[in-house]
Each structure stands twice: as C-alpha cells, then as structure tokens.
Amino acid sequence: MDFPASLEYLYGLQRFGIKLGLANMHRLIACLPEMQEPLPCVHVAGTNGKGSVSAMLAEILMHSGLRVGLYTSPHLHCFTERIRINGNAIDRGSAARLATDIRRAAEGIPLTFFEATTAMALLAFKRNQVDIAVIETGLGGRLDATNIVQPQLCLITPVSNDHSEHLGESVALIAAEKAGIIKPGVPVVIGRQSVEAMEILVTTAAKLSAPVQRAGHDFSWRGSHAELQVSGPGYSVANLSCTLLGEHQLDNFSQAVAAAMQLRTQGLPVSDKALHLAGRTVSWPGRLEWWGQGRLLLLDVSHNRAGTSCLAAYLQAQSLSQVRLVVGLSGERIAEDALQPLSKVAKQVYAVPVPDAVSVSTAQIGAWAEGCGLPVEIFASASEGFAAAMVGASSAEPVVVCGSLFLVAALRQKLLEDGAPVAF
C-alpha cells in the first residue's frame, strides 16, 4: 500500500468503533516476530495533560542523548504525527510500510483503528531501535490497546470526568480504569489529583507493590515559567524554564522531571543539561497557542471541564475577561459541563459545528451561553463563526477557539496554508 491507501485502510477500521480490551492486541503481537521481546518504555495515562507530559518527558530523554520514540493521539494535521522518533514524525513511506505489515499480520483479527495504529507505533519503535519509548494511552488504561506494553515506569496525569460513556460516570470509576496501567513492582509517578482519584491510584499501586511518587507530596515545584525549581526524593533542580503557557503546564513539567529522575535511578543517563533544555525546546501545538503576531487569536484544545478550567485560569491571569469564544464540541459531551468555567471570561459566544467529526449540537452550546447570560450567535459552519468573531478582535478582546481538537486542527491547518483564507 502507498500512503493514501494505508490511510484508507486504517480509517476504514473505524467501522469497528471503540472496542476496549486486549484480546486483539495479544493475537496481533503474537503474529509479529519483531515484537516478541519487550519494548523499553514509559506508559502514560490520565484525563488531562498526558500528551503534554509525554512530549516533555520525551524531550528530556532526547536531550540526554537517547533515541526516543513517542506515541500520542490524536494528531492535529497528519496521521504520521502520532509516531515520532527523536521528535520527528515518521515519514509517509514508513507509515505505509507499517500499515501494510500490520494488515498482513492482522488477517482474521477485527482490529479497530486505534489497535492498528498502536501496533504500528510499537513496530516502528522496534525497527528504529529506540532506547526508550513514551507511550500515551488512548482511552482509559486498563483495557486500552497500549496496555499490552511492559513498561519500566508508569505515569498518571490528572484524572477527571471525560468519556464517561466508556469509562464510568464518576471520577472514582475513571481513576480505577486509569490505574489499570499500573504493573506489579513498576514505579508510578502520579500528577495532581482530587482526593478520591488519588486514593484509588495509591491503593491500586500498594496492592501491586508499585513504588509511588505523588505530586505535592513526594515531588513539587515552585517559581514561575522563567525560573522554576523542581524538588523530589534526593534531588532539587533549579533554574528550569517552561515555554508552554499556563500554570497547569508547570504541574506537567514537574511530573515529567520527576519521571526523568526516576528513570535516572534505573540507569538511564538523564542529564541536568537535558532538564534545562527540554522546557525551552518542547513544543505541543494547539495548547494555549497564541497565533501569529500580537494577541488576537488563541488556540486551545480544551474540551472538558478540567481543561476549560485551566484555559479560564490562564485568561484571568492575563487580565482577559472579555474574549470572543468560538466553540464547538465533539462526541457525547454536555456543553454545560464542559464549558461552564468559560462563562467567567467570555464576552460573546460563537457556537459552531466541528468539521469532520460528530458534533454536539450548536443549539446545546447556544442554550448554555444563554443560560449564562452571554450573547450567542449560532453558525452553520466553523468558518462563518470564526470570521464573525475576528471582525471585532482586539488585544483586549481576543478570539479564543476551543472545545474540540478537531475544530482547532481544522482552523490551524488553514492558518498554516500561505495566503489561504480560513474556510473549512
């Protein structure tokens, strides 16, 4: 298969939907001779921040001179972004060859899209002989396709309500699913959590004799983006910096540092220089990303209450409480639950459908805005809503696009195209 044919095959697997469980992965891995030896890796689960933490940790390990694989999902612009070697997405030819090999090995196995892409990533990391891979879960943890790996370290980022239709209606149930990546005797580094989530995670780790480090208890940070200090068991690293915006990214970076220091105790050559470089060089587009010159357009993929709370906190810290909010939600999310924190910072809401995704109705978004006493306009396309919002944009009233990664991705893609109008 060439690259377009491989994408047609992979996206065709979406007909199998989301199927949690590891039976397919065990069958598939058994058919891949290259995968019979464990892949050295770190496994990352959580509701919010797991992509940022994964990218940060991979950056630290790469600056330490290691050959590092990084698997994240979904992608913003191109499928190949999901699978990276030393910061670079695999090329399209490699992706096509991997998809072809997985398709052959999976004959008779009803793989889902995510199972196939996970297998591609693991095979790519094996073939490229990475020293270590950072593997982000897709949905949940216990029954996630990535849970086929045998990690040397597990990370769990903040757990909150999202994908409740698959993971459970309460934070406790969701935390139990995320805790499913914890392995017997394997250390686990846990980010900031609610009391109920932390209790579930720590209890699970104790049952499995997995050593635990907890944010705010065993490791912590102080300072600012430009002058950060992270301290933990046997270390205190000062003069760090983090270019990713928002205080929550300082939580994420401190967790990545704690993970790196844990890996150092396991023999990986993590250098202090790498810790200082990584925070300055890490990039994770679409997360509190100011676009172009000035401060007229902010892109953020926040799509649940925990994420929009971080967005609202950032805007308030920047003294921005009158933003023009272009918002579209995908999946089965409830607008009131996901967007409520933004009621404190919005001047006007522009409700739009999400391109190329199952959208929450714009009427539901409109009803949320009206319930908050916010002026709202409903649009038939994202391009129309965005254009209307930009008409009155100023540094005091910037446009903020959020609510769905697919919305941000579509807009960002058009912005990247030289001279192309924003229309999607």
Q: What's the pLDDT tens digit per position in 3-25?
A: 999 999 999 987 766 677 899 99
Query: Looking at domain 289-416, which of 3.90.190.20, 2.40.160.20, 3.20.20.120, 3.30.420.40 is its CATH number?
Result: 3.90.190.20
- At 285-306, the pLDDT tens digits run 999 999 988 889 999 999 899 9
- Determine the pLDDT at residue 169: 62
- Please give the share of the chain, as a percent, with pLDDT higher than 90: 85
- At 399-421, the pLDDT tens digits run 999 999 999 999 999 898 855 44
For residues 71 and 55, what is the distance between their CA atoms, to the nearest angstrom? 9
CA distances from 8 to 2, 103, 299, 424 (A): 10, 12, 29, 21
For residues 70 and 348, what is the distance between their CA atoms, to the nearest angstrom? 38
- Determine the pLDDT at residue 140: 84
- At 107-161, the pLDDT tens digits run 999 999 999 999 999 999 999 999 999 999 998 899 999 999 999 999 999 998 6
For residues 261 and 19, what is the distance between their CA atoms, to the nearest angstrom? 35
- Determine the pLDDT at residue 167: 60
- Residue type, position 29, single letter: I
pTM of the model: 0.94
Question: 153-175: string of b/e by CB count within 10 Å (b at 16+)?
Answer: bbbbbbbbbbbbeebbeebeebb
- At 311-357, the pLDDT tens digits run 999 999 999 999 999 999 998 888 888 899 999 999 999 999 999 88
Average pLDDT score over the chain: 93
- Residue type, position 104, single letter: R
Q: What is the CATH number of domain 3-281?
A: 3.40.1190.10
Domain boundaries along the sequence of the chain: 3-281, 289-416
119-123, 204-208, 391-395: least confidently modelled range = 391-395
Whether residue 163 is predicted with pLDDT greater than 50 in this model: the reply is no
- Which two three-digit tokens encode residue 385? 């809503």
Q: Model confidence at 170, in pLDDT bands (50, 70, 90)?
A: confident
With H, G, I as helix, E, B as strand and everything else as coil, classify residue 69.
strand
| CA neighbours closer than 13 Å in the CB half-sphere of residue 305 | 12
- Determine the pLDDT at residue 189: 98
The answer to whether the CB of 103 falls within 8 A of the CB of 117 is no
What is the enclosing helix (H) or strand (E) of 62? Answer: helix 50-63
For residues 270 and 268, what is the distance between their CA atoms, to the nearest angstrom? 6
- Determine the pLDDT at residue 18: 67
